[in-house]
Structure 1
Amino acid sequence: MDPRIDAPLLCLILVLSDNLISQGNFIQPINKLINDSVTFTMEPAECAPEDTTIRWKSEEKYQEIGLCRNSHLDGASTQFHKRIECNSDTQVTIRNLTKADNGLYSLSYTLPCKVRKEVKNYNLIVYEPVPALHIEKEVDRNSACWCNFTLHCSVPVNSSVDWYHWQKGRNETGYQHYMNGPSIQVSLESQSLGPLDEEYVCTVYNPANQKSTSIHRKDICTLMADSSIHCSNLQRTSKLLIFIICSTVAYVILAITIIFRAILLKNGNFLTTK
């Protein structure tokens, strides 16, 4: 068999190869919220496209959902009726998105200055907005000297939430407790307390949306926030109380020992006399 490849076959291989390269495998991800709009835009080309074919794949196979020609839409599918429009020769917009619009989109541009089509691929995911959230607190210890508590960032069940972020304070230098978790545990000592008006901020995300809420430390550690109670005074009182208790116990033990010894000596003398 002649190992050489004839010219027509070589040209066919080159054309097919060029077409495959032009379509490519890159799929651009797009995240949107319900009721948002998405616009697919073609990059600047050497010439304006004659038409743009929009295809959509939701589950098994692609289906054509519209054809743009001269900024006019032809053949829009039932699902996208009155929601898809051709803004120009290079832009296609879908409005009022729903979760049913999730899927792969392929836009094929016919360019008169090229022998092949330009194909752009997108993966659209439509999310529900992050719901309203609130912080629940569980205080394990609340005193003027110590404050131990757990904070839970709560959202409704089955919410469209991907991850949580906790931060102390709202600036970029705030201390990050955990990158992904609905709860944090905190133990504070009065000497390292810091400003009582400082906040613990919980931010909840999905790829298209985020919401934040916060709680002030003074609303958690109420005894630490009470200026009439001083930890140093309590510590001195506690030490004095411990000293009094220990001294009392020692005196009681000493008294019992003396009495018991006296009884033993008395009994011993009585036996000796008899």
Structure 2
Amino acid sequence: MQLNLPERLQFFFLLCLVQFASGGQDDLIQVHGLLNHSITLSYHRLLERPVKMTIWEIKRRGKTFAVAEYNGGQLEIQNEKFENRIQASNGTELKIHSLRMEDTDIYKADIILTDLHINTAYFNLTVHEPVSVPSITADLKGDNKGRCEFTLHCSVPSNASLTLFSWIYRCGNSGYQHYANGSTLTIMLQNLSETTEFLCLAQNPVDVKNASFYSEQICNSVKSPPYSTCWIKVSIAIPVVAVLCLVVILFIKIAKK
């Protein structure tokens, strides 16, 4: 971008303002992005004047690295690692495409208004990998008078970025309810006639995956079929009734004689 002398002087003056002037309140905005996706760094405070220029930079370990400059409706990219990956439609937003892990940084926006008032915002961008599909392992604790007690453990590959775990469940066709947070769950089911589904949610701030586990997968060895007890009762009752009937018949015959 070629500048004539008046423009150069104006540009130098604006840079001096950015460095030394006391502008608007600084904001630190936490932003989370998903690897290979897009994210928009957006300043939402109400501005009293139109935007004249916005200077985007990266602040890292006390050093400043240029990113881009938005001026007169045009975006000039000043950092080669962002070539063809950033765009701006106005002076308060910067969209980054095809996010990389190394894009994690603190971004500074100096928004210079037409009255030369400066609003400064900082964006703490963290790029996360997608969450892996979790796996569930189960351990049967024992049969306690027909109740099924077991432990479920939910995990993702050890090289995955920070992941939080939580559990929801539902009985039969009812709606899901929150059960607990954490990767490990200890359960004791008393009503074994109805299937209970446990859903492990593995998530980070921008992605979530889940895996299901059904109580019948581990409680079948504990639960007896509903008809078994009834069948035992019936099989015992039939011979008793038959003997009683035979005794009554014999008694009637003897009485007639």
TM-score normalised by length of structure 2: 0.72
Pair 1:174 & 2:173 matched: no
2:217 is aligned to 219
Distance (whole Å) between structure 2 residues aligned to residue 21 and residue 232 of structure 1: 85
Distance (whole Å) between structure 2 residues aligned to residue 215 and residue 22 of structure 1: 53
> Which is helix-richer, 1 or 2?
1
Following superposition, the deviation at residue 143 of structure 1 comes to 8.0
Q: Which amino acid aligns with 2:51?
A: P
Following superposition, the deviation at residue 84 of structure 1 comes to 1.2
Q: Which amino acid aligns with 2:197?
A: E
- Provide structure 1 residue ranges, at least 5 long, that are not aligned to the other structure: 1-14, 235-274
Asked if the contact 1:142/1:222 (under 8 Å) is kept, the reply is: no
Following superposition, the deviation at residue 145 of structure 1 comes to 1.2
Q: Which amino acid aligns with 1:35?
A: N
Let me know the Cα RMSD of the aligned residues.
Answer: 3.1
Larger gyration radius, structure 1 or structure 2: 1
1:108 is aligned to 110
Distance (whole Å) between structure 2 residues aligned to residue 104 and residue 147 of structure 1: 51
Asked if the contact 1:144/1:230 (under 8 Å) is kept, the reply is: no
From 49, 52, 61, give the equivalent of 2:51: 49
Give the 3 Å change call, closer, same or farther, for CA 116–147 of structure 1 in structure 2.
same
Asked if the contact 1:145/1:231 (under 8 Å) is kept, the reply is: no
Q: Which amino acid aligns with 1:22?
A: G
> Which is strand-richer, 1 or 2?
2
Q: Which amino acid aligns with 2:72?
A: N
Question: Residue 156 of structure 1 aligns to a residue in which SS?
Answer: coil
- 1:10-49 alignment runs, 5 A limit: 20=22, 22-24=24-26, 26-43=27-44, 44-49=46-51
Question: Residue 64 of structure 1 aligns to a residue in which SS?
Answer: strand
Asked if the contact 1:70/1:88 (under 8 Å) is kept, the reply is: no
Question: Residue 219 of structure 1 aligns to a residue in which SS?
Answer: helix
Question: Residue 115 of structure 1 aligns to a residue in which SS?
Answer: coil
Question: Residue 41 of structure 2 aligns to a residue in which SS?
Answer: strand
Distance (whole Å) between structure 2 residues aligned to residue 87 and residue 128 of structure 1: 27
1:137 is aligned to 138
Distance (whole Å) between structure 1 residues aligned to residue 84 and residue 153 of structure 2: 44
1:94 is aligned to 96
Asked if the contact 1:70/1:89 (under 8 Å) is kept, the reply is: no
Question: Residue 184 of structure 1 aligns to a residue in which SS?
Answer: strand
Distance (whole Å) between structure 2 residues aligned to residue 162 and residue 219 of structure 1: 26
Following superposition, the deviation at residue 169 of structure 1 comes to 2.0
Following superposition, the deviation at residue 142 of structure 1 comes to 4.9
Give the 3 Å change call, closer, same or farther, for CA 141–212 of structure 1 in structure 2.
same
Q: Which amino acid aligns with 1:174?
A: Q
Asked if the contact 2:133/2:202 (under 8 Å) is kept, the reply is: no
Question: Residue 79 of structure 1 aligns to a residue in which SS?
Answer: helix
